[in-house]
Amino acid sequence: MTLLYLVTESDSDAVFYTLCAKKLTGSVYDPVPMKNRKGDGVGAVKEQLRRALRMAKAAAGSSQAVAFIAAIDNDRAPHDEHGAHEAGDETGRRKGTGLERQKLNKAERDYPKRLEWMTKALEEELRPDRTKWPMPVAVAVAVEMLESWIVRSLREHPPQPMPHFSKADSERARNYYAPSNPPPQWKDLAAEEHAKSGCTSKGDFYQHVVNRLDADALAQRSLSFRMFKEWLDDWPRATATA
């Protein structure tokens, strides 16, 4: 069985990405999850990513079948997915449609692009020529967070207005939508879908989501998911055994 090293924000995120890899490649994986240190800044996340890559390279060097996924939520850092929705004013306030709230404000536009620095860290550790990498690799930067993929995979149409934050009761959401009350945000909407599914655990719910996942359809709705899928599309098909 292929060892799948994962650097993610939580163990539950690692479960989701493992299920996605299995669904999209047809292969079976033995997950080796590692949490990134996002709260300590970009430098700490890069160092954790490098440590995980060195472990994966060592395993691959011993003739073990290995694959690797690096994942982090975008959290309103700059991403190409925002371009399709940038119709708001300078503060990102809504002018007519919910999609217009997708625009980043000035401070957010100054954040480093997470997809870029994660990919650069991979290339520095593994070498720039991806054809010479010792293992299949995928990078996931969900806009704005993993729950957005979950909700948009289960709903044909995006929520209106488009959420930006994790929960409606968060301070950031309250400040952003003031003086109005925030509408449900991504984690709120994912919790609604979880409740509707009847699943008792998050792991069971993620299995429910991935069982129903139409990856091509979600790739049309979400550019960030499409980018993740394109990495997985380059992985070998069904090469691992149970």
**pLDDT averages per 10-residue partition of the chain, 242 residues:** 95 97 96 83 89 95 94 88 54 43 72 90 94 96 95 92 91 91 96 98 98 97 96 80 39
Dihedral pair phi/psi, residue 137, rounded to 5°: -130, 145
* The predicted structure's pLDDT at residue 55: 96
* The predicted structure's pLDDT at residue 63: 86
Q: Are 208 and 199 in contact (CB under 8 A)?
A: yes
- Whether 73 is in a domain gets the answer yes
- Whether 221 is in a domain gets the answer yes
SS3 for 126?
helix
Of 189, 195, 148, residue with least CA distance to 168: 189
End-to-end CA distance of the chain: 6
Q: Are 72 and 118 in contact (CB under 8 A)?
A: yes
* The predicted structure's pLDDT at residue 21: 98
Q: Which tokens is 146 given?
A: 């993993």
- Whether 166 is in a domain gets the answer no
Dihedral pair phi/psi, residue 36, rounded to 5°: -80, 165
- Whether 183 is in a domain gets the answer no
- Whether 106 is in a domain gets the answer yes
Structurally, the chain folds into a number of domains equal to 1
Q: Which residues are paired to 3 by β-bridges?
A: 30, 66
Domain extent at residue 52: 2-154+202-233
Q: Which tokens is 15 given?
A: 């479960």
CA distance 63 to 61: 5
Q: Write out the H or E segment, with its range, that includes residue 68.
A: strand 66-73
Of 141, 120, 128, 146, residue with least CA distance to 50: 120
* The predicted structure's pLDDT at residue 151: 97
Contacts of 72 by beta carbon, 8 Å cutoff, 6+ apart: 8, 9, 36, 38, 45, 114, 118, 140, 141
Of 10, 118, 137, 169, residue with least CA distance to 67: 137
- Look up the pTM and report it: 0.89
CA 172 to chain CA mean position, Å? 21
Please count the other Cβ atoms lying within 10 Å of the Cβ belonging to residue 211: 9
